[in-house]
Amino acid sequence: MAECHPVGFQWVSEAKARGAKIIHVDPRFTRTSAIADLHVPLRMGTDIAFLGGLIRYVLENDLYFKEYVVAYTNAAALVSEEFADAEDLGGLFSGFDPENNTYDESTWQYEPEEPPHSGSDDPAGAAEQDELEDHPEIRKTDKAQAAGSGGPPIAAKPKRDETLQHPRTVFQVLKRHFARYTPEMVAEVCGVEPEAFLQVARWVTENSGRDRTTAWVYSVGWTQHSVGAQYIRTCSILQTLLGNIGRPGGGILALRGHASIQGSTDVPTLYNLLPGYLPMPHAKQHESLDDYCADAAGKAGFWGNKRAYMVSLLKAWWGDAATAENDYAFDHMPRIDGDHSSYQQIKDMIEGKISGYFLVGENPTVGHPNGRMNRFGLANLDWLVVRDLQLIESATFWNESPEIETGELAPETIATEVFFMPAASHAEKEGTFTQTQRLLQWRHKAVDPPGDAKSDLWFFFHLGRILRERLAGSTDPRDRPLLDLTWDYPVHGPDQEPSAEDVLREINGVGPDGRAVSGYLELKDDGSTSCGCWIYSGVYADEVNQSARRRPGREQGQVASEWGWAWPYNRRVLYNRASADPDGKPWSERKKYVWWDEEAGRWTGVDTPDFEATKRPDYVPPEGARAQDAIGGSDPFIMQGDGKAWLYAPAGVVDGPLPTHYEPAESVVENALYKQQANPTIEHINGPWNRENPSLSPVFPFQVTTYRLTEHHTAGGMSRTLPYLSELQPEFFVEVSPELAALRGLVNGEFATLVSTRTAIEAKVLVTERMRPIRLRSGQVVHQIGMPYHWSYSGISTGDSANDLLGIVLDPNTHIQEDKVSTADIRPGRRPRGPELLEFVEGYRRRAGVESGRVGVNGREPVAAEAGEGSQQ
């Protein structure tokens, strides 16, 4: 955090100054470790075992927050008799389908209190929806997100045992699942000594409960794994058991790495989502608007209003053309029916299935793993549009990439037409960024962009305008969605720039009176309201741009509610009703945050309550209640269908209802906990350009991780091009321990070559005790190599690209790649040049027993690529 979010880290330093203990769990020693009270180096890729060990410690020693756990979680729910745990099946849960490498979740369900679906308004619809979601293709598409932010539907209320003693309660299932994650097992798997582990366990548990809270902070060090979603789940379980969610000083904080990466998830340019985490309609599941809303029809929680959110979105996009008669133009939405995510697209490009590609402020040939595969993708397009500030590597691949030198690419063979369209910088346009805590902050424009440089708002507005002009008068039904689109944004100035405030107001939503709505509670499903992103509704309340509010922090309290605007409803801590006990009283004076004011008959506190303002803590939903009315007064998790935090996920996580330690796809260690080595549901993309290093191979004996430096930014387009930053970190280097340096003859300050089945790269060697070999109980020593991934051949500071070394294997929940741990060999000296490099890497493949990585012209022939989704290695 001190390295990559340094200004945010000032608050950690403040906490430390007030007596907080800072623990840093990281394979590397960094600036964060230097400030921390305790640095715990662990073997990369073993965090589930470490966190699982903490969960076991909490459960075995009765250190969980009992009142919180019983009242606010699903701990008391009974799991079906058919469920079998990974503990009993060698690392697989019940329901595994070895043919598709997917799970059927039906055995993971709760034991129902009454006959199934009795609590649903539309039992048949919900049941059908349930069944459809178990279709293998829908599971592969993104079942977790297909359910939207409300989580997957729960068919019926579970039986409960509030004593938590029944052997099939979630609580007891959890206890058994983690029973073997002992301090000794943590030592064996993670290489963390029991003393260090117990120190962490004591500090975390002593600092949780009524009077105290502990926060966890993570970044892509947790998400970029083949079990990334489960890493976060493990921490969620721990924090929930300790009562650290929805309370001040608690939570799990995802530190995101780009100015508006949170915003581009909320208002997504993602294939499987529409704004506000509404799922993209699926061809097999959502043939009509009714199908689309079926899973929410009988649902408790705010997700029960899905139809209002969706109809309002359709009205925002298609205006008067969206009517009750035509399902509000629901069929204007294209449908998805598989994994259409970024890496599948690259494979499709190499296979010639995609003609054109827009790169908008992104540099995948450096920032994505397996740069070579990415470049082959670009070389097989008909056209490519790159919008950026500088001539980034993804724009110059056709004449400057490493494959030009090896002879695998040549400008004369590449048909891709490239348009480089200069972009405006953050200072040359206005608009909002959403930072890492869901806070929208408006930027005012300082100056006009230079020359042809234009904002992306300008580019896409005018592209849309030209397309609509071209198609005007068309009678082809395919063109209706474009022609019916609301696209009449007023433009201003000599550049004809659309107004970002007009767009923000459309995102906020407008009511039947033509005025901006004050929030999503005003949205209707009858077509009388429009709203571009329901969770952002309220950012333009009272016709005021709330994101532009800038009352200085020093004039406000600790929550600073009048700086910018956070979704939803300017709530700064999510689920903050959990900061009070079931009766609505603060758990303690010290941790007072939001509470029930009996006299006033409403919730109050230092933040906006994340709960209906006047719903009493003793409210019990009447029979047949739906949406928010079905959430009880003591159920803080209002987006969940049952209002509870889930210690166990009966549905929605495709690789298991509980997190389980699996070794990374490329590991040098055998799984000490289960026969199953790696996540059985990993998504593979096979082709000569994406070979995988076999696990436990002596040819690739070392573990590698990648990371950022304080002085550079992601793929380098915004930092390697700047003189000050290039001077601060002038060249690509790798960090190795003195032990590994001795083992391989590496010399500090000289070159080393790293090799994988993808390629070989060279870097200067930094021999440092910041990298520590991990000694496992078995006596095995695991050497770990660290590589910053900012470099490539362009800019002021240049070098080989760390990401070229990595392959692409994906977490099946998120389709995010396992970047944070892979294997490689390292040897002293520079890498071979030109065609010799290809022979050198091919030799490694042969020795490791891996198929050839040879390719023909532009990466295509001679080996035909094949879909390898879910196939086993």
Partner 1 sequence: MKTWLDAWPVFRQLTGPDPLGRGAAARSKATEGVVSRTATADRVVQSVCPYCAVGCGQRIYVKDEQIVQIEGDPDSPISRGRLCPKGSASKSLVTSPTRVTKVRYRRPYGTEWEDLDLDTAMHMIADRVLEARRKGWQDENDGKRVNRTMGLASLGGATLDNEENYLMKKLYSAMGAIQIENQARI
Subset of 291-350 contacting partner 1 (CB under 8 A): 317, 331-337, 340-342, 345, 348-349
Q: Is 365 in the site for partner 1 (CB under 8 A)?
A: no
Q: Which of 240, 244, 435, 813 binds partner 1 (CB under 8 A)?
A: 435
Shortest distance, CB of residue 809 to partner 1, whole angstroms? 14
Shortest distance, CB of residue 148 to partner 1, whole angstroms? 16
Q: What are phi and psi of 328, to 5 degrees?
A: 55, 40
**Do residues 858 and 376 touch, judged by C-beta distance below 8 A?**
yes
Separation between Cα atoms, residue 799 and residue 731, nearest integer Å = 6
* Closest to partner 1 by CB, 362 or 825: 362
Shortest distance, CB of residue 256 to partner 1, whole angstroms? 4
Q: Is 563 in the site for partner 1 (CB under 8 A)?
A: yes
* Closest to partner 1 by CB, 124 or 446: 446
Q: Is 275 in the site for partner 1 (CB under 8 A)?
A: yes
Contact positions with partner 1 (CB under 8 A) in 806-835: 814-817
C-alpha 247: how far from its chain's center?
23
Q: Which of 168, 175, 426, 770 binds partner 1 (CB under 8 A)?
A: 426
Shortest distance, CB of residue 705 to partner 1, whole angstroms? 16
Could you check whether the bond before residue 862 is cis, i.e. omega within 30 degrees of 0? yes
C-alpha 452: how far from its chain's center?
34
* Closest to partner 1 by CB, 376 or 611: 376
Shortest distance, CB of residue 43 to partner 1, whole angstroms? 24
* Closest to partner 1 by CB, 360 or 625: 360
Q: Is 357 in the site for partner 1 (CB under 8 A)?
A: yes
Q: Which of 15, 38, 253, 360 binds partner 1 (CB under 8 A)?
A: 360
Q: Is 608 in the site for partner 1 (CB under 8 A)?
A: no
What single letter denotes the amino acid at residue 433? F
Contact positions with partner 1 (CB under 8 A) in 448-467: 448, 450-457, 460-464, 466-467
* Closest to partner 1 by CB, 129 or 676: 129
* Closest to partner 1 by CB, 59 or 725: 725
Piece in contact with partner 1 (CB under 8 A), picked from 119-127, 580-588, 716-724, 843-851: 716-724
Piece in contact with partner 1 (CB under 8 A), picked from 382-390, 601-609, 656-664, 827-835: 382-390
Shortest distance, CB of residue 546 to partner 1, whole angstroms? 13
Piece in contact with partner 1 (CB under 8 A), picked from 84-92, 445-453, 658-666, 749-757: 445-453
Q: State the DSSP string of 777-838.
A: TTS-EE-EEEEE----SSSSS----GGGG---EE-TTT--B--S-EEEEEEESPPP-THHHH
Q: Which of 215, 270, 743, 781 binds partner 1 (CB under 8 A)?
A: 270
Q: What are phi and psi of 567, to 5 degrees?
A: -90, 150
- Region at 353 (left for phi over 0; alpha for psi -120 to 50; beta for the rest): alpha
The closest alpha carbon to 757, from 837, 833, 850, belongs to 850
Angle at 491 (CA atoms; ends 488, 497), nearest 5 degrees: 125
* Closest to partner 1 by CB, 6 or 512: 6
Shortest distance, CB of residue 804 to partner 1, whole angstroms? 15
Separation between Cα atoms, residue 186 and residue 766, nearest integer Å = 29
- In the DSSP assignment, the letter for residue 87 is T
The HSE-up count of residue 833 (CA atoms within 13 Å, CB side) is: 1
Could you check whether the bond before residue 27 is cis, i.e. omega within 30 degrees of 0? no
As given in the structure block, the two tokens for residue 31 are 């600036």
Q: Which of 61, 82, 550, 614 binds partner 1 (CB under 8 A)?
A: 550
As given in the structure block, the two tokens for residue 415 are 């048909």
Cβ neighbours for 568, distance < 8 A, ≥ 6 positions apart: 519, 520, 535, 537, 538, 610
Shortest distance, CB of residue 500 to partner 1, whole angstroms? 4
Piece in contact with partner 1 (CB under 8 A), picked from 19-27, 179-187, 278-286, 847-855: 278-286
Shortest distance, CB of residue 37 to partner 1, whole angstroms? 23
Q: Is 171 in the site for partner 1 (CB under 8 A)?
A: no
- Residues in contact with partner 1, shown as a per-residue x/- string from 477 to 496 under the rule CB under 8 A: -x--xx-xx-x---------
The closest alpha carbon to 641, from 120, 124, 285, 65, belongs to 120
Q: Which of 123, 194, 257, 511 binds partner 1 (CB under 8 A)?
A: 257
Shortest distance, CB of residue 711 to partner 1, whole angstroms? 5
Size of the site for partner 1 (CB under 8 A): 155
Piece in contact with partner 1 (CB under 8 A), picked from 156-164, 711-719, 742-750, 832-840: 711-719
Q: Is 287 in the site for partner 1 (CB under 8 A)?
A: yes
Give the bridge partners for 169, in sequence order. 78
Q: Is 359 in the site for partner 1 (CB under 8 A)?
A: yes
Angle at 574 (CA atoms; ends 567, 656), nearest 5 degrees: 110
* Closest to partner 1 by CB, 416 or 784: 416
Shortest distance, CB of residue 838 to partner 1, whole angstroms? 23
- In the DSSP assignment, the letter for residue 419 is E
Q: Is 507 in the site for partner 1 (CB under 8 A)?
A: yes
As given in the structure block, the two tokens for residue 466 are 């030209």
Q: Is 781 in the site for partner 1 (CB under 8 A)?
A: no
- In the DSSP assignment, the letter for residue 529 is -
As given in the structure block, the two tokens for residue 160 are 């409960």
Contact positions with partner 1 (CB under 8 A) in 9-68: 10
Q: Which of 136, 422, 527, 868 binds partner 1 (CB under 8 A)?
A: 422
Give the gyration radius of the chain's Cα atoms.
27
Cβ neighbours for 635, distance < 8 A, ≥ 6 positions apart: 72, 642, 643, 644
- Beta pairing class for 252-254 and 216-218: parallel
As given in the structure block, the two tokens for residue 376 are 């082959």
Q: Is 447 in the site for partner 1 (CB under 8 A)?
A: yes
* Closest to partner 1 by CB, 172 or 729: 729
Shortest distance, CB of residue 146 to partner 1, whole angstroms? 14
Q: Is 711 in the site for partner 1 (CB under 8 A)?
A: yes
Kind and range of the H or E element at 705?
Answer: strand 702-707
Piece in contact with partner 1 (CB under 8 A), picked from 117-125, 151-159, 227-235, 444-452: 444-452
Give the bridge partners for 40, in sequence order. 25
Q: Is 591 in the site for partner 1 (CB under 8 A)?
A: no
Shortest distance, CB of residue 98 to partner 1, whole angstroms? 24
Cβ neighbours for 769, distance < 8 A, ≥ 6 positions apart: 29, 737, 738
Contact positions with partner 1 (CB under 8 A) in 510-549: 532-533, 536
The closest alpha carbon to 591, from 250, 324, 362, 853, belongs to 250
3-state secondary structure of 374: helix
- Residues in contact with partner 1, shown as a per-residue x/- string from 665 to 704 under the rule CB under 8 A: ----------------------------------------
Shortest distance, CB of residue 4 to partner 1, whole angstroms? 6
Separation between Cα atoms, residue 631 and residue 60, nearest integer Å = 32
Q: Which of 92, 196, 280, 627 binds partner 1 (CB under 8 A)?
A: 280
Question: Over the range 302-321, which residues count as b (16 or more CB within 10 Å of their CB) and which as e?
Answer: bbbbbbbbbbbbbbbbbeeb
Separation between Cα atoms, residue 472 and residue 454, nearest integer Å = 26
